[in-house]
Amino acid sequence: MIKKQAFGRTGHKSTRTLFGAAALSKVTQAEADHTLEVLLKYGVNHIDTAASYGEAELRIGPWMKQHRQNFFLATKTEERTYQGAWDELHRSLERLRVDYVDLWQMHLLVNPEDWKTAMGPGGALEAFIEAREQGLVRFLGVTGHGVTVPAMHKRSLERFDFDSVLLPYNYTMMQNPQYAADFEALAAICQERNVAMQAIKTLVRRPWGDKTQTRSTWYEPFEDQANIDQVVHWALGRPGIFLNTAGDIHLLPKVLDAASRFQSAPTEEAMAEMATKLEMAPLFV
């Protein structure tokens, strides 16, 4: 089983490895139901999905009739206006077949103009606050990709007291001095305020480049169990962080197996050797 820890100040103890439901975007219901069995096997109790993840919310919906009480359920919106976000939340609730979600997140909030819209008058933030007041959502978060996201999340936390953040965290990204500095500054604020930090893109080996894409992830992932062990254990070696699983259901058992055996992080020397040997490269530059 995978260890649990407090998900920020929510009062929920989530497994340190969360299910990244982007993996369900293009699967059948039968494949999704098999994935649920894998989650239950490892005791995963936190699902992270989004309105923009293809059919994922629809695939999760049937699970909720029997298993709603077993999962902290999170979804996201890319809408930046009050009305757009409000309408999409109700669509997500309908697709997920639930009366509320535990965490609603502003998705991919990295563009400064989008940020101004979302945080300004008539913006999505107003819908977020109202939804929480009405009990449609319990907690609020913000997510993003790219090299500027830690700095943008810091800006978001200065604007509003979000309960969680989500952003890339992997070995090659943290070799970027500016990204690493911004990440650490964000982490310090999150620790001070007890804001949950969620890591994505931990399984990145390198961009697909000219190679034929063989997985549903939008990067070339690690495939070998030993390599997956190493990067998963590296991420979990950071106290307090939560690891979102990769966007491919066929990689899920390997990631959860690695997480279930976590004891300590590999050394910096081991990670540097791996990066050279496997020609690792950052997804975002």
Residue 218 confidence class, pLDDT cut points 50, 70, 90: confident
Does a structural domain hold residue 186? yes
Residue from 41, 54, 42, 95 nearest 73 by CA: 95
pLDDT, one tens digit per residue, over 37-95 is 999 999 999 999 999 999 999 999 999 999 999 999 999 999 999 999 999 999 999 99
Name the DSSP class of 68. G
CATH of the domain at 87: 3.20.20.100
Tokens for 86? 């409000």
> What percentage of residues in the chain have a pLDDT greater than 90?
96
Does a structural domain hold residue 103? yes
Distance CA 253, CA 39 (A): 9
Nearest-10 crossing angle of helices 124-133, 112-119:
40
Does a structural domain hold residue 169? yes
Does a structural domain hold residue 91? yes
Query: What pLDDT is recorded for position 212?
Result: 86
Does a structural domain hold residue 285? no
Cβ burial, residue 146 (10 Å; 0-12/13-18/19+): middle
Does a structural domain hold residue 283? no
List the domain range (segments joined by +) for residue 100: 4-277
Does a structural domain hold residue 121? yes
Does a structural domain hold residue 284? no
Mean pLDDT of the chain: 97
Residue from 1, 13, 58, 25 nearest 246 by CA: 25
Residue from 185, 168, 154 nearest 283 by CA: 168
How many domains does the chain fold into?
1
Query: What pLDDT is recorded for position 213?
Result: 85
Residue from 204, 191, 190, 200 nearest 157 by CA: 190
